[in-house]
């Protein structure tokens, strides 16, 4: 399903370990970009549901697009959410932007390749589906949910500890 929040679970877990070296906003933007083509197919009834956008080649191109657009959209979003302040705005470094976008695009196609029979990761080189059914859809959903819960817990635990250390120092 397009724009599924389940893809955000692994992103939250990665964010919990990398903190400032990973942008969850760029990662999330990439999830949306990845599912524009399937959404178009669902609305129009035309095309291949998980087409070129859900191949490694397509994920590479969309990861590049998501990085180039996501840096500025994410910095603006942080201002709107008041996580960033006008007088001292958060700037997302380019390497963080690209890392977050490519982790987002490649993880997206890998997760979808496990559950959707029409995802051909290596197209146009071959149409093999090596990940299809490697785990059940139920277990895949659990993985995404539990990784998100664990990531949120770890992230806030680390923030709590860092704030406590700063008060002591």
Which pLDDT score, from 0 to 100, does residue 88 have? Answer: 84
Rg (CA), the chain: 17
pLDDT digits (tens, 9 = 90+) for 14-41: 999 999 999 999 999 999 999 999 999 9
pLDDT (mean) for 125-140 = 96
**Alpha-carbon dihedral sign for residues 70, 48, 60, 154:** positive
Per-domain boundaries in the chain? 5-168
3-state secondary structure of 30: helix
pLDDT over 70 percentage in the chain? 97
Going by C-alpha positions, the residue among 147, 70, 60, 72 that lies closest to residue 108 is: 60
Is this structure's pTM higher than 0.95? no
Q: Residue 78 above 50 pLDDT?
A: yes
In this prediction, residue 133 has a pLDDT band, given cuts at 50, 70 and 90, of very high
In this prediction, residue 45 has a pLDDT band, given cuts at 50, 70 and 90, of very high
pLDDT (mean) for 52-78 = 96
Backbone angles phi, psi at 120, to 5 degrees: -115, 90
Which pLDDT score, from 0 to 100, does residue 63 have? Answer: 98
């Amino acid at each position: 399903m397009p724009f599924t929040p389940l893809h955000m679970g692994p992103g939250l877990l990665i964010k919990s370990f990398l903190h400032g070296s990973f942008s969850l906003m760029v990662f999330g933007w990439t999830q949306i970009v990845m599912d524009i083509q399937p959404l178009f197919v669902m609305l129009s009834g035309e095309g291949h549901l998980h087409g070129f956008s859900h191949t490694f080649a397509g994920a590479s191109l969309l990861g590049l697009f998501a990085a180039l657009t996501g840096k500025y959209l994410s910095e603006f979003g942080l201002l709107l959410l008041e996580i960033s302040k006008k007088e001292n705005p958060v700037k997302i470094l380019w390497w963080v932007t690209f890392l977050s976008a490519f982790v987002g695009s490649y993880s997206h196609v890998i997760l979808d390749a496990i559950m959707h029979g029409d995802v051909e990761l290596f197209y146009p080189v071959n149409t093999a589906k090596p990940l299809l059914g490697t785990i059940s859809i139920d277990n895949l959903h659990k993985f995404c949910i539990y990784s998100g819960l664990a990531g949120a817990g770890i992230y806030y635990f680390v923030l709590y500890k860092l704030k406590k250390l700063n008060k002591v120092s």
